[in-house]
Amino acid sequence: MSCVARNQRPQGLRRGLLLIVGAVVLGGACSVGTAGEGAKRRPDVVAVYYPHWHSYDHGSAWKGEGWTEWEGVKAAVPRFPGHQQPLRPTWGYFDESDPKWSAREIDLAADHGIDVFLFDWYWYSGVKNMEEALEQGFLKAANRDRMKFALMWANHDRRDQFCPDLAKERTVWLPSRHSPRDLERALDYCVEHYFRQPNYWRVDGRMFFSIFQATEFVKQLGGPQETARLLQKMDQRLGQTGLPPIHWNGMVADPKSAAVLQEAGFSSTSRYNVNTTGKAGPGLIEQYEDLMQAHRDHWQKMTAESPLVNVPVVTTGWDVTPRCRQEVPWPFPVAPTSGKREYPYGPVVVGNTPERFEQLLRDVSRHVERDPRQPFAVLINAWNEWTEGCFLLPEERTGTARVEAVQRTFGAGRRRPR
């Protein structure tokens, strides 16, 4: 396995010593630190943006005219004493495809040290949905220059996970399939609509593009070696349009999967969230303090054992009960057909106070400083995943406490140079 530094500059003996020190710190892991100025660089702060809070044609066709996922937020009920449901967004149930609302989000994020919105992007063999939040909202906001944006291809099957029956198979609305031709079409669309935008996020000059189900993406494209050849071809295709190559990022949960991505030509990894610890027990309640430790363990394992630089994730919480039918009793039973717990009928995390969230932010900041690879970003899940209990936007119980925690930890307007 080879080591490749993100900033390769010959430095003789000093560079060699740095490599040795980095390997010792990580217990022999393959790693390269950035000397001198890199040690104190502030990582970019990236927030996952879930674009499902506006009416769109597919949603109306699937769930009824004008449907949005705000319906689940409004209808949620408390499942146990102290359960903080329903959530009450301070701004109300707004339409994020409206550029005026998007401008308000941009100001709140930029004022509190968030540099990038990573938009979940839905493409199914040319069929798109939920892109209105980005194309009609964010990109048409008067203040869009205050924020960077990038895409995470949410390449999972599009299925009905919104208050599904516990005992029935989920309806698949759009299956996710990958092929070389479809990848070309998807990237051609991105060139036309996104990659040429002046505020598309770049990492060391490359356009950041993340894949949610990264190992499945590689598998469907014919395996790691075939995928690597294809990604090189895509970079050449981009070069012909005058654009730089892509920084391919993959969402994975373990170093073994990261090794597959390295062979496939990816540049970095992350993880969409850390949402369970396995400590819920029969009551299906987990403590955020346990989840915090699960985050720390994951960051350290990826740093020590993964061949790629890992962008550490911080998850704000976990509560998917707004996507569950009210008549299903708590604690949620296992599905009678499979004998297993099926999403969204799973555990709820409690105790995710703004203070504990801020502690986890401080922990990840220290982790980034100590990682010899110097991760270029920190990922926060999420800006607005209301129906999964992951949000930074203000809510009546906590106000703006979570974005203020981001600002206190990382500061505002101090993005590291690119």
Same domain, 19 and 164: no
> Residue 202 in contact with residue 238, Cβ under 8 Å?
no
Confidence at 281, pLDDT banded by 50, 70, 90: confident
Same domain, 200 and 341: yes
Same domain, 109 and 252: yes
Please report the pLDDT score of residue 34 as a whole number.
33
Confidence at 279, pLDDT banded by 50, 70, 90: confident
Same domain, 29 and 158: no
Q: How far apart are CA 360 and CA 297, in angstroms?
A: 12
CATH of the domain at 188: 3.20.20.80
pLDDT at 16 over 80: no
> Residue 69 in contact with residue 57, Cβ under 8 Å?
no
The vertex-76 CA angle with 73 and 81, nearest 5°, equals: 130
Q: Give the range of the structural domain holding residue 95, as residue numbers without chain letter.
A: 44-410
pTM of the full predicted structure? 0.89
Same domain, 178 and 30: no
Confidence at 1, pLDDT banded by 50, 70, 90: very low
**What are 85-126's pLDDT values in tens digits?**
999 999 999 999 999 999 999 999 999 999 999 999 999 999
Same domain, 56 and 69: yes
Confidence at 412, pLDDT banded by 50, 70, 90: low
Number of domains the chain contains: 2
Same domain, 31 and 64: no
Same domain, 33 and 114: no
pLDDT at 31 over 50: no
> Residue 255 in contact with residue 309, Cβ under 8 Å?
no
> Residue 150 in contact with residue 118, Cβ under 8 Å?
yes
Residue 129 falls within a domain, yes or no?
Answer: yes
Confidence at 278, pLDDT banded by 50, 70, 90: confident
pLDDT at 41 over 90: no
Same domain, 195 and 128: yes
Residue 5 falls within a domain, yes or no?
Answer: no
**What are 200-257's pLDDT values in tens digits?**
999 999 999 999 999 999 999 999 999 999 999 999 999 999 999 999 999 999 999 9
Same domain, 91 and 26: no
Q: How far lies 43's CA from each of 46, 170, 315, 412, in Å? A: 9, 39, 17, 12
Same domain, 18 and 126: no
Same domain, 311 and 354: yes
Residue 415 falls within a domain, yes or no?
Answer: no
> Residue 221 in contact with residue 240, Cβ under 8 Å?
no
Residue 4 falls within a domain, yes or no?
Answer: no
**What are 164-213's pLDDT values in tens digits?**
999 888 999 999 999 999 999 999 999 999 999 999 999 999 999 999 99
Print burial letters for 336-357: b (CB count within 10 Å at least 16), e (below 16): eeeeebbebbbbbbbebbbebb
